[in-house]
A and B are shown apart, each in its own frame.
Chain A
Amino acid sequence: MNPIERSIVQPALDSFLNQEVYLHLETTNGAYAAHRQESKMTIGAYIRNGRISYIRGTITGEGPYRVGLKMKDGWVYAEGLTDFDLEQEGKLLLAGHDEEGRLAVALELSLEPFEL
């Protein structure tokens, strides 16, 4: 992955407009967050291969970045995004990494289902 460049990511978001795409969206602070520090909660959520279609998709911010995908009946939102990957045809991977390089948030779109 490489540091996000809005001028590359924005056209990639536009390329998925108005068609059914597969969504991977997650956030996590690590399965051991509460174990390592009692005051912390372990937080995580993910959806893999949710099927969505969006009519407007935008990346904003100065880094870390935010992405909002406007659907006919709702929204998909992620913040804290730092890196992107377009190496695989038909896939856009966005992720937010902390100072240790650990993944904290991910938003990925694909024309084909993500592997299980």
Chain B
Amino acid sequence: MDQHVLVVFPHPDDETFGCGGTLALFAKSGIPITYICGTLGQMGRNMGKPFFANRETLPKIREAELEKACKAIGIRHLIKLGLRDKTIEFEDPEPIVTRIEQILREVRPSLVLTHYPGYAVHPDHNALGGLTIRAVSRLSMQDRPTVYAHAFARNCQDVIGPPDIVNDISKAADVKYAAILAHRSQSQVMLPRDNMLQRESFWTYRCS
């Protein structure tokens, strides 16, 4: 199977903060990346610092930031699901799972990156991660991609153990930083901290 990475996250900037370095390294080695972004982060409270967005202008601003960040990372194919921030867990799951399943069958990814259901803090993360896993589980065993799940809940390692994938992203630190800056409305109050520019960690998810 040709290599192709499919990324599924709910908010513009999830792709950058959680796995921007990993994605940049894939892109650099010529592996195509498709990104399914669930919402436009319409309900975020960060408006820039000093704030330049408001509740009504935020979606368009974040959409433009998303496209800029994708360009920086090397994501060429962006699919916007058109859902609304904070509402994914309340939607009828079936149409969303079916849509993701269709995309999986079209793109035939070798690897899927999404949030680890239950351990990704934001209800949208947990919900869309869960829907993505359900969609992957609908594929036959031989068609299933590897799934890297991103988890960052406090003490999540007590339950799911340490991550089995720890990527050194220092060679892509500048690209990740550029993508972080592209998400200007969100990153001005949340500049890189800890090891965000050195390492990114994932758990290989076993789909039942």
Are A and B physically bound partners?
Answer: yes
B95 located at the interface, meaning its Cβ lies under 8 Å from any Cβ of chain A in the complex: no
Majority secondary structure, B binding face: loop
Query: In residues 1-20 of chain A, which contact B (Cβ within 8 Å)?
Result: 1
B27-62 vs A, Cβ < 8 Å mask (1 yes, 0 no)? 000000000000000010111111100111001000
The answer on a CB contact under 8 Å between B55 and A101 is no
The answer on a CB contact under 8 Å between B47 and A97 is yes
Q: Report chain A residues within 8 Å CB of B59.
A: 115
B residues apposed to A, CB below 8 Å: 43, 45-51, 54-56, 59, 84, 86, 121-123, 153-154, 189
**Known contacts A100-B49, A102-B47, A102-B189; is A95 also within 8 Å of B56 by CB?**
no
The answer on a CB contact under 8 Å between A28 and B45 is yes
Q: Which chain A residue lies CB-closest to B46?
A: A102
7 A/B residue pairs, CB under 8 Å, sorted by A:
A26-B55, A35-B121, A88-B56, A95-B55, A101-B49, A103-B45, A116-B84
Smallest beta-carbon distance B179→chain A, Å: 20
Which of B43, B47, B51, B121 sits near A32, CB closer than 8 Å? B121
The answer on a CB contact under 8 Å between B55 and A108 is yes
The answer on a CB contact under 8 Å between A97 and B51 is yes
Count of chain A residues with a beta carbon within 8 Å of a chain B beta carbon: 27
Q: Report chain B residues within 8 Å CB of A28.
A: 43, 45
Q: Which chain B residue lies CB-closest to A38?
A: B154
A59 located at the interface, meaning its Cβ lies under 8 Å from any Cβ of chain B in the complex: no
Q: Report chain B residues within 8 Å CB of A30.
A: 45
**Known contacts A35-B121, A38-B154; is A101 also within 8 Å of B48 by CB?**
yes
State the CA gap A26–B59 with chains docked (Å). Answer: 16
**Known contacts A30-B45, A102-B47; is A93 also within 8 Å of B54 by CB?**
yes
Which of B86, B122, B189 sits near A101, CB closer than 8 Å? B189
The answer on a CB contact under 8 Å between B56 and A108 is yes
A82-116 vs B, Cβ < 8 Å mask (1 yes, 0 no)? 00010010010101010011111010100000111
Q: Which chain B residue lies CB-closest to A33?
A: B45
Smallest beta-carbon distance B151→chain A, Å: 12
Q: Report chain B residues within 8 Å CB of A88.
A: 56
The answer on a CB contact under 8 Å between A103 and B49 is no
State the CA gap A44–B124 with chains docked (Å). Answer: 14
A75 located at the interface, meaning its Cβ lies under 8 Å from any Cβ of chain B in the complex: no
Q: Which chain B residue lies CB-closest to A103?
A: B45
A46 located at the interface, meaning its Cβ lies under 8 Å from any Cβ of chain B in the complex: yes
Smallest beta-carbon distance A55→chain B, Å: 26
